[in-house]
Amino acid sequence: MSKTADVVIIGAGAAGLMCAATAGYQGKSVLLLDHSNKPAKKVLMSGGGRCNFTNLNTTPANFLSANPHFCISALKRYTPQDFLELVERHGIDYVEKAPGQLFCANTSKDIQQLLLTEADWAGVDLQMNTSIEKVSTTADRVQLTTSLGKIDAGALVVATGGLSIPTLGATGFGYDLAQQLGLEVLPTQAGLVPFTLHPELKAQLAPLSGLSCDVSVSCNGQTFTEPMLITHRGLSGPAMLQISSYWQAGDELSINWLPQFNLKTTLAKLRQEQPRTHFSSWLAEQLPKRLATVLVSLLKEQGILLPERNADASNNQLEALAYALENWTFKPAGTEGYRTAEVTLGGINTQQISSQTFAVKNLEQVRFIGEVLDVTGQLGGYNFQWAWASAVACARSL
């Protein structure tokens, strides 16, 4: 069988479906191909099953990229408000869980259904279970050899995403094709991913598995104040996922266990007002009790000994204790990698892509959108906003 289409899109995930629907509404014949058995699997899994589909406070500063200006134009042309209008038009209930972070009130299926309905209304020909064997280009067209047969198209949009979670259909297809076309692919790394710990610390924290507390965590000049979750494998929760995108193997993380306090002042006040009590009792009032106990023994290992009574603490001891609680540093063993990472850092170097059309410079008929590019959002709905914005910018210029 041989087919022709104005546009072929590879990858029926967030960006691919959005691009297909937008191009279809513009009167283009669109063929959307995916090797997986179901479209938008990551949408279904996202946001703990309730898809954090955008963030009202999205700015270019929420993205990591070697070329930080690249995302500005697309984000400006398709805003979180634009996607929200689409969500409202489909009658989907949503909630703002944290400031700006919009989630489905019911399930992620609502967003998957929105995308499929839009693609259907726009006349998109969606073909799942389709493998792409070969891509070649002529002066102004693209030829594909696929399990559906040969396809000739006026444009190819690659929306195959990153490497995160292979069991959801992730592959390096987009990177391989980019390299085949002579584009540079910047080194990739798992992002928004839990940390694993060295055996000793892992054993010390293991009894606290399931426990969550608000911390500030810092690395390489970035700080996030959000909940941290101790798991049986290591450290997770929003604080750890966020900082993982700024962490390189071998880096230390620094945790402030009590970011809501100026500890030097608070501990000095405590010494004055409760001279007969012990700092560890106060600590156990501020943090989960079991965590406070483990923390006191971790501090001891660092040579921070708490005096019997607050009154006995010298100024130097107070300062050392405050510093240790605000700057508790450790080296993670690593991360859980692509098996559980929400995103892939790095990817196709955007210097070679037009920020207006997402076409490859000097190869107009081939375009790349979404996560396959070297643009990665922080946690909080930014990655989907990038998928929507890059898809719409690309489709409108087809």
Q: How do 343-348 and 253-256 pair as beta strands?
A: unpaired
**Binding region for ligand FDA (CB under 6 A) out of 47-55, 193-201, 221-229, 302-310:** 47-55
Instruction: Pull the structure tokens for residue 287.
Output: 């943090």
As a whole number of angstroms, the distance between CA 238 and CA 247 comes to 14
Q: Does 34 bind ligand FDA (CB under 6 A)?
A: yes
Residue closer to ligand FDA, measured from CB, 14 or 283: 14
**Binding region for ligand FDA (CB under 6 A) out of 10-18, 240-248, 303-311, 330-338:** 10-18
Instruction: Pull the structure tokens for residue 163.
Output: 């490497």
Least distance (Å) between residue 201 CB and ligand FDA = 26
Least distance (Å) between residue 39 CB and ligand FDA = 6
Residue closer to ligand FDA, measured from CB, 36 or 277: 36
Residue 39: count other Cβ atoms within 10 Å of its Cβ.
Answer: 23
**Binding region for ligand FDA (CB under 6 A) out of 40-48, 116-124, 183-191, 360-368:** 40-48
Residue type, 76: K
As a whole number of angstroms, the distance between CA 100 and CA 83 comes to 13
Residue 199: count other Cβ atoms within 10 Å of its Cβ.
Answer: 8
> Which residues, 132 to 171, sit near ligand FDA by CB under 6 A?
132, 159-161, 164-165, 169-171
> Which residues, 333 to 362, sit near ligand FDA by CB under 6 A?
342-343
As a whole number of angstroms, the distance between CA 189 and CA 338 comes to 8
SS3 63: strand
Residues 6 or more apart in contact with residue 299 via CB below 8 angstroms: 306, 321, 324, 325
- DSSP-derived letter for residue 140 is S
Q: Per-residue contact track with ligand FDA, 101 to 130, x per CB under 6 A?
A: ------------------------------
Q: Does 371 bind ligand FDA (CB under 6 A)?
A: yes
SS3 7: strand
Which residues make beta-bridge pairs with 65?
none
User: Which of residues 5, 9, 15, 30 is near ligand FDA by CB under 6 A?
Assistant: 15
> Which residues, 48 to 77, sit near ligand FDA by CB under 6 A?
51-52
Total residue count of the chain as it appears in this document: 398
CB-based contact 238:216 (threshold 8 Å): no
DSSP one-letter string for 345-366: EEEE-GGGB-TTT-EETTEEEE
Q: Per-residue contact track with ligand FDA, 188 to 217, x per CB under 6 A?
A: ------------------------------
Residue closer to ligand FDA, measured from CB, 24 or 169: 169
Least distance (Å) between residue 323 CB and ligand FDA = 36
User: Which of residues 5, 8, 9, 14 is near ligand FDA by CB under 6 A?
Assistant: 14
- Return the sign of the alpha-carbon dihedral for residues 26, 27, 32, 38: positive
Residue closer to ligand FDA, measured from CB, 51 or 292: 51
CB-based contact 210:230 (threshold 8 Å): yes
Alpha helices, H only, 97-197: 109-121, 173-180
Least distance (Å) between residue 368 CB and ligand FDA = 9
As a whole number of angstroms, the distance between CA 174 and CA 337 comes to 19
Least distance (Å) between residue 202 CB and ligand FDA = 23
Binding-site size for ligand FDA (CB under 6 A) equals 35
**Binding region for ligand FDA (CB under 6 A) out of 90-98, 119-127, 308-316, 380-388:** 380-388
User: Which of residues 5, 23, 321, 387 is near ligand FDA by CB under 6 A?
Assistant: 387
Residues that bind ligand FDA (CB under 6 A): 10-16, 34-36, 42, 45-47, 51-52, 132, 159-161, 164-165, 169-171, 173, 342-343, 370-371, 381-384, 387
